[in-house]
Chain A
């Protein structure tokens, strides 16, 4: 049994790192346990390198072709494509773990909520009269809300737009 570990070369706050998998990865008669520290949202700032824990043992016992294959899987730096890494990782996860984020994407979204606000938005968007209400986007209140980043005390994170009670909130077409 050998342990191959991938470490991020750059210094990344610990909370951004999620231990994605410690997965037994059978390659031929060898079983390689490998561990990948994954950035939960993107791989943009993470570069991986493969560092055997015991380089002497590994280089003697594991054929260079296997090391090379694993490097290929993790070689973000060479390919310069963070996405390709995530794709490769997913395909490996599918093989080893029977678990793939990409395959489950629509199921996960449906699991988060059965509601579909985008349909209602599209409905209203289609009915809206052009230019009506555009003045709101030009107000100082809207602009500073939109541009604010919570950096200073005067920043208001919440914009409340209200109408008179007599306006009626019902929108009947």
Chain B
């Protein structure tokens, strides 16, 4: 089945939230860090490299690299051609940075992470929250990981379903129609029909997705 043109994917939700936070929703001077899981890149996405990437974004936003991190780097670069940080080191550094500065961590599509690393990441996030309860963590994914998140993070989880709303569908249809590469095939009556009938009849994304994927062919 062609999976082209989903109205509202988890990564779009994540990027929307991240942009909103970066624009100041989280308060001035907040650190915002994100990570997008990708099933195709599971090999490179270990718990250490993922949380290291989160830390990298936090540190990148500071005026100066924290001394603790600079020192760890200085120690490790001299041995065996440069050893990388270990997960406990990264977690400790994140605990420190998040205690100093309000931090938002957004993890997209956690269900696409290898189970072993998923457990480590949730456990690490819990450690960060224990040290710095003001830290905000956004996780997106399929509903089946909800229980796992609740269990590993020991409660304190609010869940929101990301089923698209009617306005989302209309905005999306407008966008797709505007991008039509063969506009001559469209007329105002057909466009009005599309904009009226699809949002009326379809509200569930899993039904909408394959239909929208074939929309251009259907039009032409």
> Which residues of A pack against B, CB within 8 Å?
18, 20, 38, 40-42, 83, 86, 99, 101-102, 104-105, 107-109, 111-118, 120-121, 124-125, 127-137, 139, 141-142, 144-146, 148-151, 155-173
- Closest-CB distance, A83 to chain B (whole angstroms): 7
Given the known inter-chain contacts A128-B15, A157-B135, A170-B3, please indicate yes or no for A111 contacting B156, CB distance below 8 A. Answer: no
> Which residues of B pack against A, CB within 8 Å?
3-4, 6-21, 25-26, 33-36, 38-39, 44-45, 48-57, 59-60, 62-70, 73-74, 76-77, 82, 84-85, 90, 96-97, 100-102, 109, 111-112, 125, 129, 132-146, 149, 153, 156-165, 167-168, 171-172, 175, 204-207, 209
B162 and A133 within 8 A (CB): yes
Tell me which of B10, B59, B161, B164 contacts A108 (CB under 8 A): B59
Q: When chains A and B are docked, how far (Å) is the Cα of A116 from the Cα of B44?
A: 11
- Closest-CB distance, B6 to chain A (whole angstroms): 6
- Closest-CB distance, A28 to chain B (whole angstroms): 29
B21: A residues at CB distance < 8 A: 146
Question: For the complex, would chain A's binding face be called helix, strand, loop or mixed by DSSP majority?
Answer: mixed
B144: A residues at CB distance < 8 A: 165
Given the known inter-chain contacts A112-B85, A141-B158, please indicate yes or no for A136 contacting B52, CB distance below 8 A. Answer: no
B167 and A135 within 8 A (CB): yes
B146 and A108 within 8 A (CB): no
Q: When chains A and B are docked, how far (Å) is the Cα of A101 from the Cα of B67?
A: 8
Q: When chains A and B are docked, how far (Å) is the Cα of A111 from the Cα of B79?
A: 13
- Closest-CB distance, B91 to chain A (whole angstroms): 12
Q: When chains A and B are docked, how far (Å) is the Cα of A116 from the Cα of B36?
A: 10
B6: A residues at CB distance < 8 A: 167-168, 171
What are some 10 contacts across the A-B interface (CB < 8 A)? Answer: A41-B64, A41-B66, A108-B69, A115-B44, A117-B36, A132-B8, A159-B159, A161-B17, A161-B162, A165-B143
- Closest-CB distance, A54 to chain B (whole angstroms): 29
Q: When chains A and B are docked, how far (Å) is the Cα of A111 from the Cα of B163?
A: 39
Residue of B nearest to A125 (CB): B15
B53: A residues at CB distance < 8 A: 112-113, 115-117
Given the known inter-chain contacts A104-B73, A134-B16, please indicate yes or no for A129 contacting B10, CB distance below 8 A. Answer: no
Tell me which of A38, A146, A168 contacts B25 (CB under 8 A): A146
